[in-house]
A and B are shown apart, each in its own frame.
Chain A
Amino acid sequence: MNKPAARKTIIVLFWLVLWQAASLLVHNSILLAGPYEALLALIRLGVTAGFWISVLMTVLKITAGFLTGLITGIVCACLSYRFRLFREFITPPVSVIKSIPVASFVILVIIWAGSSSLSVVISALVVFPMIYVNVLSGLDSAEGTLIELGKLFRFRNMDKARYIYLPSVAPHLTSAISISSGMAFKSGIAAEVIGRPLQSLGAGIYLSKISLATDDLFAWTFCAVLLSFLFEKVMSYVLRRLILR
């Protein structure tokens, strides 16, 4: 094992030992279950089909929401860049979406559309403004001299997008995707905890709350963190491949 990896492992082990020591000290698994109990809970949950169905449904819905927010954000940013009127028209709703608490949206979506598609809508609403603002900022910072070049030589639209705009949008978009993919998971699962749609990770967390099963809560939370991490890595990888192609 190389030196940085060994150091990271030691740091993680330190915190796990501290956590275990704290739980032994508290000596009440409802207040603070230890990592060992959480691991046992994870294994117990992991052998049931319901657990995997819940995880899969949550991942699918949040991915759908994320992609919806991503695509609409990019499309709206392009339209705003191209049409001044559209930019002025869309600025108020974007500001509203950015500033309204997620919990308010959750309640509204439950009232309007029920809880089954809740995490799709909430993830999309969280992702959309971040992508929109960042892509638009990238487009705005495209080099004016190259824009003139493309205009005078009548570059094809695809070439303009690829060689003039993409280089300035790419850094903004990658950082927006990195941040918003994590946010999509956090807010999507938070919405599920409030709305409790059937077969969802959020409903599992809620169930562990009402049954005071802290070990289950940690097991579900560990899944959420792991999924969020993997999701961000996959999205960043896909995006890098698309841009560098």
Chain B
Amino acid sequence: MKIILNSICKSYGGKEVIRDLSFTFTEDEPVVIEGVSGIGKTTLLKILMGLEKPDSGEMLFEGVQQEKVRFAPVFQEIRLIESLDAVSNVKLAAHGVSAERIEEELKSLIPEDELHKKVCDLSGGTRRRVEIVRAVMSPSDVLIMDEPLTGLDDKTEDKVIAYINNNINGRLFIASSHNKRLCAGAHSLVLQ
């Protein structure tokens, strides 16, 4: 499967955020988008997921119908169902996966005693890790992670990086991050 961008442009209120961007994303090569804050990394990820429309240019999907592509995102800001615990949040996205299996997976990133706490009572870093497990466990074709390491300390960052790298499972992986270690062997797409 490939996602091909041809001359994508996007502006907000007259300010050009993405200018004439052409790039091809493939399953074989994970991509980490780099660039200074406000350069359009999040906008590009939103365009890829269909949450924003480019002003001009085209986005083509090769090997799969665009409507059938399943995205599993980690958004820049935390998006969880606050009234539910970590396991239930993951279960909403991991269709058909048992609660036991989800608990096992979550335990690799968050302490066991936090699995059944409401996510609104968890720290920012733990909430971020719940989101990462949710994206990884969701049946999907494309993993999209917008600054997934935000709010994590160095030790946890290493664990999360290893977890992500071990669980891409042949999916197309696109992330934005300031940390070059996020994905081993990833291609860097530098926005300027």
Mark A residues whose CB is within 8 Å of B.
Answer: 145-146, 148-149, 152-156, 159, 163-164, 167
Interface residues of B in 61-80 (CB under 8 A from A): 70-73, 75, 77, 79
B51 pairs with A153, CB closer than 8 A: no
A163 pairs with B81, CB closer than 8 A: yes
- Which residue of the partner chain, among A145, A148, A163, A167, contacts B92 with CB atoms under 8 Å? A163
Among A146, A149, A153, A164, the most chain B Cβ lie within 10 Å of the Cβ of A153
Residue B95 is within 8 A (CB to CB) of chain A in the complex: yes
Interface residues of B in 41-86 (CB under 8 A from A): 49, 51, 70-73, 75, 77, 79, 81, 83-84
Among A152, A159, A164, the most chain B Cβ lie within 10 Å of the Cβ of A152
- Give the residues in chain A near B84, CB-CB below 8 Å: 163
- Give the residues in chain A near B92, CB-CB below 8 Å: 153, 155, 159, 163
What are the 8 closest A-B residue pairs judged by CB atoms, nearest first? A153-B93, A163-B81, A149-B79, A152-B71, A159-B92, A145-B79, A155-B92, A152-B73
Residue B177 is within 8 A (CB to CB) of chain A in the complex: no
Minimum Cβ distance to chain A for residue B32 (Å): 20
A152 pairs with B49, CB closer than 8 A: yes
A167 pairs with B51, CB closer than 8 A: no
Provide the bound-state CA to CA distance between A24 and B77, in Å. Answer: 71
B71 pairs with A167, CB closer than 8 A: no
Provide the bound-state CA to CA distance between A33 and B93, in Å. Answer: 66
Specify the chain A residue showing the minimal Cβ separation from B81: A163
B83 pairs with A153, CB closer than 8 A: no
Minimum Cβ distance to chain A for residue B16 (Å): 24
Total interface residues in chain B, CB < 8 Å: 17
Provide the bound-state CA to CA distance between A5 and B49, in Å. Answer: 58
Specify the chain A residue showing the minimal Cβ separation from B78: A145
Given A153-B138, A154-B95, A146:B70 Cβ within 8 A: no
Minimum Cβ distance to chain B for residue A217 (Å): 49
B70 pairs with A154, CB closer than 8 A: yes
B79 pairs with A146, CB closer than 8 A: yes
Provide the bound-state CA to CA distance between A145 and B77, in Å. Answer: 10
Provide the bound-state CA to CA distance between A164 and B93, in Å. Answer: 14
Provide the bound-state CA to CA distance between A156 and B79, in Å. Answer: 17
- Give the residues in chain B near A154, CB-CB below 8 Å: 70, 93, 95
Provide the bound-state CA to CA distance between A154 and B68, in Å. Answer: 11
Provide the bound-state CA to CA distance between A152 and B73, in Å. Answer: 8
Minimum Cβ distance to chain A for residue B87 (Å): 14
Among A145, A146, A149, A167, the most chain B Cβ lie within 10 Å of the Cβ of A149
A152 pairs with B72, CB closer than 8 A: yes
Specify the chain A residue showing the minimal Cβ separation from B91: A159
Provide the bound-state CA to CA distance between A156 and B91, in Å. Answer: 11
Specify the chain B residue showing the minimal Cβ separation from A144: B51
Minimum Cβ distance to chain A for residue B120 (Å): 12
B79 pairs with A155, CB closer than 8 A: no
- Give the residues in chain A near B134, CB-CB below 8 Å: 153
Minimum Cβ distance to chain A for residue B48 (Å): 11
- Give the residues in chain A near B72, CB-CB below 8 Å: 152-153
Minimum Cβ distance to chain B for residue A22 (Å): 53
B83 pairs with A163, CB closer than 8 A: yes
A148 pairs with B51, CB closer than 8 A: yes
